[in-house]
């Protein structure tokens, strides 16, 4: 089974304006949407489109949390959230008016007792289960939270996937995650110099592999992606043609496709192809990738 963890889920309230945003004045929306998300939840959503079951874990609170849980269940996702007594699941306001303005909520405080409940749930994971940890850690939790969870699972054969940045990513490498997915800019920040060629990216990825990562998947937006697999093979793939509509969730979609592809075939080349198709399908769509769009792009890669 695949388990995703979203520490700080959100309801994104997306407002579209027909004119530029005017601060200090009344702005009337031309349209609006509510999107239920968070990086781990995005991964679970795309896995569902691929026909792969997962369990979405995380923390929710208040009426907004209840709304988010109902909405995800209606989408066919399996959830096992931990309810918090205080606060509310955050609402992020995203104003699209030529350029995008965001106001992101803080989210509820996560007490130690809730973390212990999460650990108890993770204790049920079995050998070859997949645990996907994606995104930043809320300010109410220490930055060592990912390390804490992976240390608890160490030696049990659980395949960890980590999509995080800088120190948050580097500190989990000793626990030998199955997959890490920095983008090329994040990888440049880690090695502290700009990476401009494939050879430089491979060398930087090999450095992370030497520290413990089994597979390093580097996404490069319109330039495709590069995978250094655990056997030392380098796989390079381009990006299918299409108009980028929304890049939010594209990286999460790539993770979902890669994991699903590998579990389906055990073939890293196919995993990279499916991951690229999923990431591109989301980038070319208003929302997350759909099964139809994924299959359409997969045939072109």
The CA distances from residue 102 to 25, 91, 97, in Å, are 17, 11, 11
In 3D space, the residue among 245, 277, 275 whose CA is nearest the CA of residue 260 turns out to be 275
Query: Quick check: 181 and 163 in contact, CB under 8 A?
Result: yes
Q: What is the pLDDT of residue 263?
A: 97
Q: What is the pLDDT of residue 205?
A: 95
> What are the average pLDDT values for consecutive 10-residue runs of the chain, which has 301 residues?
96 91 94 90 96 96 97 95 96 88 93 97 96 91 94 95 90 96 91 89 95 95 91 93 83 96 96 96 88 91 85
Domain spans in the chain, listed from the N-terminal domain onward: 2-8+38-87+108-298
Give the right CATH number for 2-8+38-87+108-298 from 3.40.1190.20, 3.40.109.10, 3.40.630.30, 2.40.10.10: 3.40.1190.20
pLDDT digits (tens, 9 = 90+) for 94-119: 898 888 898 999 999 999 999 999 99
Q: What is the pLDDT of residue 264?
A: 96
Q: What is the pLDDT of residue 121?
A: 97
Q: How many CB atoms lie within 10 A of CB 236?
A: 15
Positions annotated as catalytic residues are 252
Model confidence, pTM:
0.93
Q: What is the pLDDT of residue 301?
A: 85
Q: What is the pLDDT of residue 33?
A: 86
């Amino acid at each position: 089974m695949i388990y995703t963890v979203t520490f700080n889920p959100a309801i994104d309230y997306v407002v579209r304006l027909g004119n530029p945003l005017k601060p200090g004045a009344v702005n009337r929306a031309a349209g609006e949407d509510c999107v239920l998300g968070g990086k781990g939840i995005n991964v679970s959503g795309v896995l569902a489109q691929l026909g792969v079951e997962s369990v979405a874990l995380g923390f929710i609170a208040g009426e907004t949390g209840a709304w988010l849980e109902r909405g995800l269940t209606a989408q066919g996702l399996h959830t096992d959230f931990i309810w918090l007594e205080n606060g509310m699941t955050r609402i992020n306001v995203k104003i699209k008016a030529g350029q995008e303005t965001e106001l992101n909520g803080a989210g509820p405080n996560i007490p130690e007792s809730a973390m212990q409940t999460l650990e108890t749930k993770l204790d049920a994971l079995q050998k070859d289960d997949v645990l996907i940890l994606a995104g930043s850690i809320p300010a109410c939790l220490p930055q060592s939270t990912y390390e804490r969870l992976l240390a608890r699972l160490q030696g049990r054969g659980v395949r960890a996937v980590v999509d995080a940045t800088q120190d948050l990513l580097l500190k989990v490498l000793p626990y030998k995650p199955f997959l890490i997915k920095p983008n090329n800019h994040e990888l440049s920040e880690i090695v502290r110099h700009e990476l401009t060629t494939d050879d430089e990216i491979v060398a930087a990825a090999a450095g992370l592999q030497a520290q413990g990562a089994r597979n390093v998947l580097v996404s490069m937006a319109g330039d495709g992606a590069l995978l250094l697999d655990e056997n030392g093979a380098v796989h390079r793939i381009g990006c299918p043609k299409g108009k980028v509509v929304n890049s939010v969730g594209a990286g999460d979609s790539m993770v979902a496709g890669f994991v699903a592809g590998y579990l389906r075939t055990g073939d890293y080349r196919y995993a990279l192809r499916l991951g690229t198709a999923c990431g591109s399908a989301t980038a070319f769509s208003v929302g997350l990738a759909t099964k139809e769009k994924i299959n359409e792009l997969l045939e072109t890669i």
